[in-house]
Structure 1
Amino acid sequence: MTWQEQWPGTPYESGSNPREETSGLFRVALKASACAASTEIATLRDEFGEIHVYESRTTAEQELLDDTDCSGLRFQQPAPNGSTDVDRYLVKVRDPELEPAERGPPEDGWTFNMRAQQVGALAETLFSAYSWNPPPIVSYAAKDLSLEPEDFQVAVNASPESISHSGLNGSDGRWMPDCEFIVHRRTSSPSKDDSGPVLKRYLAEIKHGSTGFERHQRQQMARIADETGDDLAVLLIRVKLQGTPQSYDLTIQTPSALSSENQFS
């Protein structure tokens, strides 16, 4: 499920107060969660595309919510930074998580839903989990610098400093890059601590799916790209995480509990 589909907009709920009749064209994006839950919606998207235009909101609600045999379908406010120009998303609302008091013993296992922040963090981890030489950046730097991968190595800074710039109105825009990649000329020393001279630095913003950039991020990234020389570049990295699990299971135990089962060493 993408970040847009988990945006906490106010969904339409059946069984609430009578709907107000609304007129004017109403554009709806059929999101992946709705397609996964309903074969009718999936067929509609496959045959006619993601975005559908209706004569009014009332017509859209009738056809997509009332006439579709699938519980849990809802209209949701579009994400503020989304790239799709629509009035609503059609999504499948996931079952709510249990309250802490409703859960059994932690050693028996608990299940939690994946949230948008976790998916975004997973996308960043694909790069920040490396101290040196994340494969995508090695491949990019090789093409960018016209070098063979064995001629350089890439250091990863997973906590770069924020970059700020005062605008014309006195406001301070601030951008915190997700990662910094420093490309060093490889030396004859086998130790990565003995890195050669810096060839180039990359400041990267990492997004997953079609998540949009905030205005101040775009402004700062564009400013840096315009003002810096050839030794520094800004990278916009989009990671597509297809097949990301919708939930995860875990157990929580103490060492004493494991010791009693002869499992702790």
Structure 2
Amino acid sequence: MVDRADSFRVAVKDSARAENRAVRRLVATNGEVVSFDAEPAAHERARQLSADGETPVKVQRAAPQDPTDVDAYLVAWPRRRRWSPEGSPTEGLTFDAEANQYGALAEAVVCTPRVNPPLLTHYARIDADADAEDLRVELDADPEPVAAGPSDRRWEPDCRAVVRLGPDRPVLTEYWCEIKAGDGSFERSQREAMAAKAREATVLKIRVDLDELPDSYTAWVREVAPDESDAGTDRVNSSLDDF
């Protein structure tokens, strides 16, 4: 146990907890104020939490006039995004990955292929207690929006999965799905409309844990030249052989 009189005390800010899963685990174990032997140990722990969580965090010294009984705060410190890509189309354009792209990746994992996607097919087998060879799950990737309540709360499902016991057979059941990546939250309007839809159909909330996601990505863009013999490797209109 660290002696409080000689310790370096760090209070965890809400921003750090909201943005970093590893920080939430730290708070659950140690509380909202964490004591360290010295300030360097606190900075080292912040680096570990940044590596383990989604968003970097840092230790920020408390102001001299701060009335709280702490030496510093652990705060979220998101990496500054590149709004303009680096590079060129032929050499490669590097962009920062965005949250909505992670969400799209989660949807692709759940909704691919359109017939018998693995997750929903396995869930349907358990739910319907059906033979694996007979079950067929067909996806509608653009279902109608769902509205509910006097305020007309809207929910746009990510997909509707129709379950049959074979091609062209009657519908056995169907699932209306909302898909989130990681700790993505469900909006209040979504929750209300989802609850209303659940009175008449099965509604599934699906979370996809995507490990080791890249912070950035690089892509190359080159056009197919009408006459590839005229295409140079240093132009946007490079040949497919140069790609």
Query: What's the CA shift for 1:49?
Result: 5.2
- Opposite residue 241 of structure 1, the aligned amino acid is L
- Opposite residue 53 of structure 1, the aligned amino acid is E
1:178 aligns with 158
Provide the rounded CA distance (Å) in 2 between the counterparts of 1:166 and 1:45: 34
The list of structure 1 runs, each at least 4 consecutive aligned residues, that deviate by more than 4 angstroms after superposition, is 29-35, 44-52, 72-75
2:235 aligns with none
Contact 1:74 1:93 in 2 (8 A): no
Describe the superposition over 1:73-107 as per-residue Cα deviations: whole angstroms up to 9, x where unpaired.
459xxxxxxxxxxxx9733432442636xx44320
Query: What's the CA shift for 1:263?
Result: 3.9
Percent sequence identity is 32
Query: What's the CA shift for 1:257?
Result: 9.5
Provide the rounded CA distance (Å) in 2 between the counterparts of 1:51 and 1:107: 51
Secondary structure in 2 aligned to 1:140? helix
Contact 1:74 1:90 in 2 (8 A): yes
RMSD (Å), alpha carbons: 3.9
Q: Establish whether residue 233 from structure 1 lines up as the match of residue 213 from structure 2.
A: no
Secondary structure in 1 aligned to 2:90? helix
Query: Quick one: structure 1 residues 254 and 243, their matched pair in 2 at CA, closer, same or farther if it must change by over 3 Å?
Result: same
Map residues 17-56 of structure 1 onto 2, 5 A cutoff.
27-28=12-13, 30=16, 52-54=31-33
1:39 aligns with none
Q: Establish whether residue 68 from structure 1 lines up as the match of residue 47 from structure 2.
A: no
- Opposite residue 163 of structure 2, the aligned amino acid is V
Describe the superposition over 1:129-179 as per-residue Cα deviations: whole angstroms up to 9, x where unpaired.
322000111111111011111122000111111011232xxx111111111
2:217 aligns with 248
Query: Quick one: structure 1 residues 33 and 198, their matched pair in 2 at CA, closer, same or farther if it must change by over 3 Å?
Result: closer
Map residues 100-119 of structure 1 onto 2, 5 A cutoff.
103-119=86-102
Q: Establish whether residue 127 from structure 1 lines up as the match of residue 96 from structure 2.
A: no
- Opposite residue 187 of structure 2, the aligned amino acid is E
1:264 aligns with 240
Query: What's the CA shift for 1:255?
Result: 1.7
Q: How many residues align?
A: 201
Query: Quick one: structure 1 residues 32 and 244, their matched pair in 2 at CA, closer, same or farther if it must change by over 3 Å?
Result: farther
Provide the rounded CA distance (Å) in 2 between the counterparts of 1:45 and 1:128: 30
Contact 1:207 1:237 in 2 (8 A): yes
Query: Quick one: structure 1 residues 217 and 47, their matched pair in 2 at CA, closer, same or farther if it must change by over 3 Å?
Result: closer
- Opposite residue 103 of structure 2, the aligned amino acid is G
Structure 2 unaligned segments of length 5 or more: list them. Answer: 1-9, 48-55, 60-72, 233-237
Q: Which has the higher contact order (CA 8 A, sep 6+)?
A: 1
Provide the rounded CA distance (Å) in 2 between the counterparts of 1:45 and 1:218: 24
Query: Quick one: structure 1 residues 239 and 47, their matched pair in 2 at CA, closer, same or farther if it must change by over 3 Å?
Result: closer
TM-score, length-scaled by structure 1: 0.62
1:216 aligns with 189
Provide the rounded CA distance (Å) in 1 between the counterparts of 2:163 and 2:26: 47
